[in-house]
């Protein structure tokens, strides 16, 4: 295992069992950041419907899940949660101690993965520090990557995984407000997206609580405080908290199934 962990990321073969949007996003991030070469990526799926996007990136593809495990030491499982148990049983005969297996399927517990000898970022019994560090190094190409206790994985799904859709709804609503006041739709949506991106960048760069940035842009009697009052009257804060709670609860339900 030490020899595998010491291998350079760019020379490592990376596999994807499942070729949906999540798998494609991770693969694109790794390739664009130079963490892995496109031809070193191998993805599997039952049909060519999603594999064509991997081929467009220059990646290798197959319809055999076992072929991915036989050719790659680091494998991401990106199937639907209800499909994963059958997939794990299928590939179990070719799993070796040299494999690092990562699930990005929502609602799948470590115990169910460990029954097939899998290792994930939310560290299970078999995952070692070197493997976790290697995975974090690779996934930094796709954004922030941190090790968390398994109990927080479902919360992360509700916050970050589902949060993309929540942020899109808010961006859409911002733009529609501007359209209502007379701004062209295309321009309104571009400005709304840029506003969210700029806000996120400032929060990450400054590392401060969002309330501090909010207070900085609120002048007494100004436009922003009047707008915030309208948001509070509409229950935005409570609705958003409830959305994260609902998504987290659903992730927990999936794990129990």
237 versus 121: the higher-pLDDT residue is: 237
CATH of 2-147, one of 3.40.710.10, 1.20.120.530, 1.20.140.10, 3.40.50.720: 3.40.50.720
Per-residue pLDDT tens for 217-252? 998 999 999 999 999 999 999 999 999 999 989 888
Per-residue pLDDT tens for 15-72? 999 998 888 988 888 888 888 899 999 999 999 988 999 999 999 999 999 999 999 9
Query: What's the whole-number average pLDDT of the chain?
Result: 82
Judge whether 47 is annotated as a binding position: no
Rounded to an integer, what distance in angstroms lies between the CA atom of residue 160 and that of residue 150?
Answer: 15
Q: How many residues does the chain have?
A: 257
Judge whether 50 is annotated as a binding position: no
User: Would you list the domain boundaries of the chain?
Assistant: 2-147, 160-256
Query: What CATH code is assigned to 160-256?
Result: 1.10.3730.10
Per-residue pLDDT tens for 61-109? 999 999 999 999 899 998 887 788 889 889 999 988 888 888 776 555 5
Judge whether 80 is annotated as a binding position: yes
Residues 193-199 have a mean pLDDT of 93
- 146 alpha carbon, distance to own chain's centre: 12
Judge whether 93 is annotated as a binding position: no
Smallest CA-to-CA distance from 241 within 158, 168, 156, 149 is with: 158
Judge whether 149 is annotated as a binding position: no
């Amino acid at each position: 295992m030490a020899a595998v962990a010491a291998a350079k990321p760019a020379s490592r073969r990376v596999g994807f069992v499942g070729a949906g949007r999540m798998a494609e996003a991770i693969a694109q991030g790794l390739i664009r950041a130079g963490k892995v070469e496109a031809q070193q990526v191998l993805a599997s799926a039952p049909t060519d419907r999603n594999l064509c996007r991997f081929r467009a990136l220059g990646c290798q593809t197959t319809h055999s899940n076992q072929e991915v495990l036989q050719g790659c030491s680091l494998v991401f499982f990106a199937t639907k949660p209800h499909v994963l148990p059958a997939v794990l049983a299928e590939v179990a005969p070719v799993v070796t101690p040299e494999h690092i297996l990562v699930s990005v399927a929502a609602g799948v517990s470590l115990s169910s993965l460990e029954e097939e000898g899998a290792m994930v970022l939310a560290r299970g019994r078999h995952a070692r520090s070197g493997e976790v560090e290697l995975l974090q190094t690779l996934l930094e190409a796709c954004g922030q990557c941190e090790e968390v206790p398994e109990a927080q994985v479902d919360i992360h799904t509700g916050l970050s995984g589902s949060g993309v859709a929540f942020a899109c709804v808010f961006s859409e609503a911002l733009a529609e407000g501007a359209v209502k006041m007379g701004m062209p739709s295309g321009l309104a949506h571009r400005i709304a997206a840029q506003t969210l991106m700029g806000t996120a960048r400032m929060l990450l760069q400054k590392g401060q609580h969002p309330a501090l940035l909010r207070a900085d842009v609120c002048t007494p009697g100004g436009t922003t405080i009047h707008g915030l009052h309208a948001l509070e009257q509409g229950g935005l804060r409570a609705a958003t908290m409830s959305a994260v709670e609902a998504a987290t609860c659903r992730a927990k339900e999936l794990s129990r199934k």
